[in-house]
Chains A and B, each alone.
Chain A
Amino acid sequence: MYLYNQTDQRLVDDRVVQFRDQMTRFLDGRLDEDSFRPLRLQNGLYVQRHAPMLRVAIPYGTLASHQLRKLADIARRHDRGYGHFTTRSNIQYNWVRLEEAPDILAELATVQMHAIQTSGNCIRNITTDQFAGVAADELFDPRPYCEIVRQWSTLAPEFLFLPRKFKIAISGGAEDRAAVRFHDIGASARVAADGRIGFEIFVGGGLGRTPMVGKTLKGFLPREELLNYFEAILRVYNRYGRRDNKYKARIKILVKDLGLEGFAKEVEDEWAWSRGGPATLTEQSFVDMEAFFARADYAPAAADDPGYRQALQGSRAFARWVERNVAPHRADGYAIVTLSLKKTGAPPGDATAEQMDGVADLAERFSAGEIRVSHEQNLVLPHVARKDLPALWEGARALGLATPNIGLLTDLVCCPGGDFCSLANARSIPVAAAIQQRFDNLDYQFDLGPLELNMSGCVNACGHHHIGHIGILGVDKNNEEWYQVTIGGREGAAAALGKVIGPSFAAGQIPGVIERLLEVYLAARHEGEIFIDAVERIGLEPFKARVYGGAA
């Protein structure tokens, strides 16, 4: 893992002092609300429905055990004993007190954490694949590049007041688990025919009000040019992105208005000047950064441990958990374990302080003290020896984090919705709970197979409903909560946006609607065909007909 140097530490320490002063001036009335708002947002502090919300950055979703314990400590002392992991691999505290925010930031700084740029019209937390560095299928580890971009973008003075927020994701290039084509900039690892390392750069993707799949801006960007090229993109966007209408201010609208070629021409012109210039990354900078992330200390482990084999045969529950929650690791004898934050009855993505402490302990015992946060709002232990899986499973069960539902229907993604968020049109947590209760039967879920359900409480799409195989969007009709249903969305190489099936529903109808969608799939599926593939093959009509009975 990356460790702060003196410069990084000074930056976060100075930031705490600066924000404490800003907060004091605000509370004293010397700083007016309009001037304070962008400052507090750049420190992750929102004013929400019930209380201020503080969003803490978890850069590229990586945490050490002692950092997770600090998050638990903050949840206990400054919130109501829990936190919410978000679809951008951050954590949100929903019940903080405004005047305590500087104290919380000071606590975070003691464990090399902060809330810088987790909100506001600036470059947000960099995200990646939750399996980065350990996935069996990646071309190379994207985390050194995430950290390079994190350092560059943190308080980058030129880009603190962009037209709108700006999200960057970087992935290791194989199966896309970072949704790179749904970010303002997405970078996907590529290795050229001559062995050079670089990235394919996507631009203009995003969800929200105007969902778009990112387009390839550059097929291959050599890695040493990463910052020069990003800076060129950001500068073009900062100068020419729309500022007159916040709903048209994202980079995707600028790319649409200029056309991909027109936009690319502007970027090329800017890059032509900076290319090879002072911000060009050196080979040494890659070597230095890679050293933080390299792990050569895997103890040789048998690929087929007898105790593990025995547990698989002896317990159907354990075998099911392995089937859904354990992924292949690139080192022999190791595995990647996903701890589910989607137990029926608990709001998706929420973890209590006790669970956080428990996961920190499990990570120390079984995963070299490292934890990842996935954009599907689960926690991941990335370095687990297969022989330890039975013991880890017992530990996870005791914490209520061993639901064997990863990638299945009840592993649904969901924003905090109208229960907390002042932007939301509708609540999402109760609807998620109703869905989880209706489909809690594991045999049914295993039979259904992989299925992604995403729900957002408003068009801002924090729950990424557009890319759910089934998407649910809360809408407001005459001050009542209604829910629009889409199907056919997906992330990954075949990224697509879901299509609306018809008029929206009341909350109580949603589980029944989903049941009917699933009935169509179960009747139509070919051997081994998953839900989303069946939707693409047979189209929307059979689903519409079943749900609306021909009335839509």
Chain B
Amino acid sequence: MNTLIRNGEIVDDGWQWIDAGEADLSVRLAAGGRFVLPLAAWLVHRASLDPACAGVWLGPDDEPESVLPWLADIPLIAIRFPVFTDGRGYSLARLLRTRHGYTGELRAVGDVLRDQLYFLQGCGFDAFQLRADQCPEEALAAFQDYSWAPLSGR
């Protein structure tokens, strides 16, 4: 189980992750719970789900513009990092937080490592699903890497 850090604390994840192209999705959704759906599936199933239980995840080349009409009601947006050196998710986060004013949970998932947490936070992420091999205690320390706030993240 990957560690989830939310607002600086290790917490249990109350959300079920749906992968892209998952079979029998309707059956799974019908069973109930809170789900994080890939963008394409979220757009299909959004209307039939309780908005408070339907999060969406974006890949690095997904356009956040497609979720804008419903942004105020989305409880959780996850941005997936296929590899930690793919920096597109940083810009997606900044766009969502600043230009589009998103205020719900913004979660980094995938290749999320201790050494990027401070900067991910600087772009507006407030939740982090760590890569399985990451030490949770070391990761918590990462939020104190700097006693300084980056100029461009203020």
The SS class assigned to the A binding surface is helix
Complex interface: chain A residues within 8 A of B118 (CB) = 157
Among A144-168, those with CB < 8 Å from B are 151-152, 154-163
| Closest partner residue, chain A, to B81 (CB atom) | A161
A15 to B99 CA separation, bound complex (whole angstroms): 30
Q: Once the chains are docked, how many angstroms separate the CA of A416 from the CA of B122?
A: 37
CA of A238 to CA of B119 in the docked complex: distance in angstroms? 15
A152 and B88 form a contact (CB under 8 A): no
Q: A-B contact count, CB below 8 Å?
A: 85
Contact partners of B147 in chain A: CB under 8 A: 10, 14
Contact (Cβ within 8 A) A157 B150:
yes
Asked whether B56 is an interface residue with its Cβ less than 8 Å from the other chain, the reply is no
With beta carbons under 8 angstroms apart, the residue of A31, A152, A154, A243 that contacts B86 is: A243
Question: Which residues of chain B have C-beta atoms less than 8 A from A273's C-beta?
Answer: 99
A477 contacts the other chain (CB 8 A): no
A157 CA / B120 CA spacing, docked (Å): 7
Name the CB-closest residue of A to B100: A273
User: A235 and B91: CB pair below 8 A?
Assistant: yes
Partner of B90, one of A38, A39, A161: A161
Report B-chain residues with C-beta under 8 Å of the C-beta of A278. 154
**A35–B113 contact, CB under 8 A?**
yes
**Binary B-proximity of A238-264 (CB < 8 A = 1, otherwise 0):** 110001000000000000000000000
Q: What are the residues of chain A within 8 A of B23 when measuring CB–CB?
A: none
Provide the bound-state CA to CA distance between A227 and B150, in Å: 14
Q: Are B146 and A158 in contact (CB under 8 A)?
A: no
| Cα–Cα, bound, A15→B150 (Å) | 13
Q: Which residues of B contact A163 (CB under 8 A)?
A: 87
Residues of chain B within 8 A (CB-CB) of A154 are: 150-151
Once A157-B90, A158-B94 are accepted as A-B contacts, the answer to whether A152 and B119 lie under 8 Å apart by CB is no
Would you list which residues of chain B between 63 and 108 have a CB under 8 Å from chain A?
84-88, 90-92, 94-95, 99
Majority secondary structure, B binding face: helix
Find the B residue at minimum CB distance from A17.
Answer: B145
A152→B154 CA distance, assembly (Å): 11
Contact B88 A238 (CB under 8 A): yes
Contacting residue for B150 out of A31, A35, A156, A161, CB 8 A: A156
Please give, as numbers and ranges, the residues of chain B lying within 8 Å of A279 by CB-CB distance: 152
Contact: B148 with A161, CB < 8 Å? no
Distance A156 CA – B87 CA, assembled complex (angstroms)? 12
Residues of B within 8 A of A231 (CB): 152
Q: Tell me, in angstroms, the Cα distance from A274 to B95 when the chains sit together.
A: 11
The answer to whether B19 has its CB under 8 Å from any CB of chain A is no
Is A18 at the interface (CB under 8 A from chain B)?
yes
CB atoms of A159 and B154 under 8 A apart: no
Give A15's nearest chain B residue, CB to CB: B146
Chain B nearest Cβ from A207, distance in angstroms: 24
Q: Is A340 an interface residue (CB 8 A)?
A: no
B13 within 8 A of A: no
Interface residues of A in 254-304 (CB under 8 A from B): 273-274, 278-279
Interface residues of B (CB under 8 A from A): 84-88, 90-92, 94-95, 99, 113, 115, 118-123, 135, 145-148, 150-154
Q: List, sorted by A's number, 25 A–B pairs whose CB atoms are closer than 8 Å.
A: A7-B148, A11-B148, A14-B147, A14-B148, A15-B146, A30-B135, A39-B115, A121-B85, A121-B87, A151-B151, A152-B152, A156-B150, A157-B90, A157-B120, A158-B122, A158-B153, A159-B87, A159-B90, A160-B119, A161-B84, A161-B87, A161-B90, A231-B152, A238-B90, A279-B152
